Structure 1
Amino acid sequence: MKTVVFIPARYASTRYPGKPLVELTGASGEKKSLIQRSWEAACAVPGIDAVYVLTDDDRIRAAAEGFGAKVLMTSSQARNGTERCAEGVAQLPETPEVVVNLQGDAPLTPAWFVSDLVAHMQANPDAQMATPVLLTDAETLANFVTDRKEGRVGGTTAVMRADGTAIYFSKEVLPYVGSLESPPQVWHHVGCYAYRPEALTAYAGWDEGPLEKAEGLEQLRFLENGWPVACVAVEGKGRVFWELNNPVDVARIEGVLKKEGIA
């Protein structure tokens, strides 16, 4: 086993309780839960050795096993998906070279996003942790700005150095967008991570820092402890990427499923 994908999922979401079991209607009219659509997105990635749903909730476990997923039960003490991944990798019969964390609220993640992330880890053996970033198109950036004006968190943005390592991640729209007519480059952080197993071990031993607590962004713990985070630029190829953060996002995601012909 070289590469595994973990899909962390918890029922008690602060912004959207029960989110993994929310049903989304696809192009065929079939309803599937958010966690099933995220699992199907993970299974579509070529070259992955195994896919697991990680949860501490029996309702999510039962639903996942019902559509054929492998499930690892993690503790209720896990504060975020990365901590859940650290618990999950310890349960595997064989330690993989790369662990991918595909967020359970990101069913629109294209397979090539994950493939590009894994390829970066394979080409850079010193990289301990990496995450994809996507240059926002006009529609996504407008959604970001609208959500913030209306008091919602619509997504996460990334600010990077010239070498592609992260300076900061935020739920605010960074850098500042003065006008949608002539905006700066804004990079959308894609909710997916790749780690070396030793990076997960280190992460689990650190306390939450003030920036992680303020933003509610788990990846900031690496930056606060001086570990570089590689940002891998990926291409949308016409696919609108959006995560399910709020109830309003259901219609947005269903619109993309229908547009892309995803059943």
Structure 2
Amino acid sequence: MSVLIVIPARYASTRYPAKPLVALTGASGVAKTLIQRSWEAAMAVKGVDRVVVATDDDRIKAEAERFGAEVVMTSVDCANGTERCAEAYANIGGGYDIVVNLQGDAPLTPAWFIEDLIKGLEANPWAELATPVLRCEGAMLASLREDRAQGRVGGTTAVFGAGNRGLYFSKEVIPYTGKGYGPAEPTPVFHHVGVYAYRPETLAAYPSWPVGPLETLEGLEQLRFLENGRAVLCAEVEARGREFWELNNPSDVARIEAMMAGMGLE
């Protein structure tokens, strides 16, 4: 199957304006922008035919072209990354079997997360899109709980049923467990990784669907699929010793840089 990766990136983020242009310093002391690190993560994925950055901002376009990325310009009216991916896919004329949305705030996404996601969609014809979930160990769960206690959104959690069919996604920490866990102890909570692999026809239909109450309340674009009865595969992935975190708030910069240093990522 032919695979396209789209990296949606916008300048006017509500929580963190200009986020794609924030510099992150790796273990070697070299600083690269968030959008460059996200593009490098996409380029490391095996079996991908094309990678593009989708943006509505000339500053992001200029930065992406500086480090050699292909850029597709999209409208300022895109409400989220999925809508931007749908428009970018239409703008390039389609022609791919799977479209991957690697959101531009997840530079620590390991290549095998996306490779496993693509395999999951290929192996499950009932699924209209797939997204990775990572079982939390106690330390990650504690970080998620601490962020919520401080009024921050540190990550999204997912619950799923038989066959790993997605049931719900939330910025709250779900399911409720009522207990503590050791730092390396597996928990029943799954961290949702903000990557999606779509069937092109499902992606194309997404912008025409109304925004439902759950998407409005949670601010999570993937809930539009569930609210419209679409089948979502939650593909469980393994960390393999890698730490993972998304850049959602300014305070995440130091956290991600510390993770990069600890893992020796340049």
Partner residue, 2:36: 36
Partner residue, 2:67: 67
Partner residue, 1:217: 220
Residues 1:257 and 2:260 are matched in the alignment: yes
Q: Which moved more, 1:110-119 or 1:177-186?
A: 177-186
Q: Amino acid of the residue matched to residue 215 of structure 2?
A: E
Q: Amino acid of the residue matched to residue 206 of structure 2?
A: Y
| Offset of residue 94 of structure 1 | 4.6
Q: Which moved more, 1:125-134 or 1:167-176?
A: 125-134
Partner residue, 1:54: 54
Partner Cα separation in structure 1 for residue 129 and residue 163 of structure 2: 15
Aligned pairs for 1:176-255 (under 5 A) are: 176-181=176-181, 184-255=187-258
Partner Cα separation in structure 2 for residue 97 and residue 171 of structure 1: 31
Partner Cα separation in structure 1 for residue 194 and residue 137 of structure 2: 17
Partner Cα separation in structure 2 for residue 19 and residue 180 of structure 1: 33
Partner Cα separation in structure 2 for residue 167 and residue 152 of structure 1: 24
| Offset of residue 80 of structure 1 | 0.3
Partner Cα separation in structure 1 for residue 194 and residue 187 of structure 2: 22
Q: Amino acid of the residue matched to residue 69 of structure 1?
A: A
Structure 1 segments unaligned to the other structure (5+ residues):
none
Partner residue, 1:25: 25
Partner Cα separation in structure 2 for residue 177 and residue 72 of structure 1: 44
| Offset of residue 93 of structure 1 | 4.2
| Offset of residue 126 of structure 1 | 3.6
Partner residue, 1:10: 10
Asked whether the 8 Å contact 1:175–1:184 carries over to 2, the reply is: no
Asked whether the 8 Å contact 1:54–1:73 carries over to 2, the reply is: yes
| Offset of residue 179 of structure 1 | 2.6
Partner Cα separation in structure 2 for residue 119 and residue 167 of structure 1: 21
Q: Amino acid of the residue matched to residue 68 of structure 2?
A: G
Partner Cα separation in structure 1 for residue 51 and residue 2 of structure 2: 12
- Secondary structure at 2:172's aligned position in 1? coil
Asked whether the 8 Å contact 2:136–2:187 carries over to 1, the reply is: no
Partner Cα separation in structure 2 for residue 93 and residue 216 of structure 1: 29
TM-score, normalisation: structure 2 = 0.96
**In the TM superposition, what whole-angstrom CA distance separates every residue of 1:225-255 from its partner, at most 9, and x where no partner exists?**
0111110000001111100001111111101
Partner residue, 1:108: 108
Partner Cα separation in structure 1 for residue 106 and residue 97 of structure 2: 23
Asked whether the 8 Å contact 1:140–1:240 carries over to 2, the reply is: no
Q: Percent identity?
A: 62
Partner Cα separation in structure 2 for residue 225 and residue 94 of structure 1: 23
Partner Cα separation in structure 1 for residue 126 and residue 214 of structure 2: 26
Q: Which moved more, 1:86-95 or 1:142-151?
A: 86-95
Partner Cα separation in structure 1 for residue 263 and residue 72 of structure 2: 31
CA RMSD for the aligned pairs? 1.3
- Secondary structure at 2:162's aligned position in 1? coil
Partner Cα separation in structure 2 for residue 200 and residue 104 of structure 1: 18
Partner Cα separation in structure 1 for residue 27 and residue 240 of structure 2: 19
**In the TM superposition, what whole-angstrom CA distance separates every residue of 1:157-208 from its partner, at most 9, and x where no partner exists?**
0011122011100000001242323785100000000001100111111011
TM-score, normalisation: structure 1 = 0.97
Structure 2 segments unaligned to the other structure (5+ residues):
none
**In the TM superposition, what whole-angstrom CA distance separates every residue of 1:53-76 from its partner, at most 9, and x where no partner exists?**
000011100000001000000001
Aligned pairs for 1:117-128 (under 5 A) are: 117-128=117-128
Partner Cα separation in structure 1 for residue 199 and residue 265 of structure 2: 32
